[in-house]
Amino acid sequence: MLDIEDLTVSVEGRVLLKNISLNIEEGETRMLFGENGSGKTSLLMAIMGLGNYTVESGRITFKGEDITHLPADERARRGIGIMFQRPPTIRGLKVSDMLELIRRDGRDPEEVARELNFSQFMDRDLNLGFSGGEIKRAELLQLLTQDPDLVLLDEPESGVDLVNIGVIGNAIRDLLQKDLHRQRKKSGLIITHSGYILDYVEADKGCVLVNQTIWCTGNPHEILEGIRQHGYEGCLTCQR
């Protein structure tokens, strides 16, 4: 589904990602761990084609097509979707109107809004005055309507209270077709700090971003446990 080969990315001459190689299969969910400033968000932005990131070398292939230099909207139309951690407010654009604009083959927005306890926000301006949890639900509602084949989720559990984390976890499971097993087509790359999301969304693999590069790949639970015990410094000495 997604194949990143030896990718080096910079912003205004400063290297943020170095020699990243990453392969995500169809139906696979991948967790991405890493300390603050390690480049996790930059990697998601680079895959989506956002920001003023410059690809210095390497390439990104999606469904067999080189998308390294495609604009974000072309990547979205090919089936990549992203959940923003801090999305901007779009004044005067109602949530319901946004869903009409972006709807692809996804589910009925009204129905998804009901499941996300979000129906009362449909007439509100997009992200205007939304709390942390409301922003997450608005993002997931858009993604479920958009129906991407690869979803990039940036810390979906941050700022969400215990009541809503179950709602959000279920929405992500829905997005990633977690109930389909063998017929699953959807893939995901999920940034997590705390690992709480693993209680709700099973991941096939995990990987750690340290010093701007992918340091290791393995069982997500084992990686999380290792980070809990030894911190990210432990990753540097680990021989896995």
Q: Which residue has the tokens 């389909």?
A: 180
Q: Is 11 in the site for another protein (CB under 8 A)?
A: no
Q: Give the footprint of another protein on residues 101-130 (CB under 8 A).
A: 101-102, 104, 125
Contact assessment for residue 43 and residue 32, using Cβ atoms and an 8 Å cutoff: yes
State in angstroms the smallest separation of the CB of 234 from another protein.
34
State in angstroms the smallest separation of the CB of 17 from another protein.
18
- Find the binder of another protein among 12, 14, 36, 73 (CB under 8 A): 73
20-49 mask for another protein (x: CB under 8 A)? ----------------------------x-
State in angstroms the smallest separation of the CB of 94 from another protein.
9
Q: Is 51 in the site for another protein (CB under 8 A)?
A: yes
Question: Which residues bind to another protein, rule: CB under 8 A?
Answer: 48, 50-51, 71-73, 76-77, 81-82, 84, 87-88, 90-93, 98, 101-102, 104, 125, 142, 146
